[in-house]
Amino acid sequence: MITHWRIFTDVKKLADEYAVMMLSLFESENMNKDEIKGCAISSVVPELTIAFRDMVRRHLKLEPLIVSAAAGRVMHVNADNPSEVGADLIANAVGARALYGSPVIVIGFGTATTFSAVGADGNFEGVAIAPGIITGAESLISHGAMLPQVDLHRPEHAIGKNTILSLQAGIIFGFAGLVEGLCARIQEELGGNAKVVATGGLARLIAREVHCIDAYEPELTLEGVRIIYQKVKGE
């Protein structure tokens, strides 16, 4: 991997507006857009998929690979409606399978906390979706008139002596318990010997509190996108 960026996305922005940002980021890294020979887009927001596809066509002169449309050629999705499975989940599963083999469980710590299961045969078997850590905390605080905003830091004790520590204990240790519990159930359904890989911005925070996570891969999604692109393009 050469580099990566994280940006705030807005569905109201047009392709050319994103192009200005993209080209500025290229310039900041002394990257020449003419040296880019391929592009893959993994998106779960249809409006942004269209915007970024149009941006790539116009400003990079490339036809991008849309991961959601191509992922089925790399990993079989054993779900009632495979099109419902997000491109990011498939990319994570492909990346984890390539790095750690199968069976494997991928926990994505994002807006939602997702548990993706890949069976021993390498197929995507399904997913469990729980609230994200920040999403759950914000919902709790917004519905409690006397509850303050808190930083997500690990408290020393599970028994809080004030409101802040009590919230931190419930959020951090509560989600740790959620992760342990769901991992145990999914392990049992997969046969009990699956590696567990965590990814996402808050993965490190929870990984320290559980025993079921074997590895942390912060850029697992991008690794999966690369593998899907190369396999579909035959490289």
88 is catalytic: yes
Residue among 10, 16, 80, 88 flagged as catalytic: 88
d(CA 169, CA 89): 29
Beta bridge partners of 114: 108, 129
List, in order, residues 6 or more apart from 4 with CB less than 8 Å away: 219, 222
Q: How many CB atoms lie within 10 A of CB 38?
A: 15
d(CA 52, CA 14): 9
125: nearest Cα among 83, 79, 87, 90: 79
Which 3 state secondary structure label does DSSP give 50? helix
Catalytic residues: 88
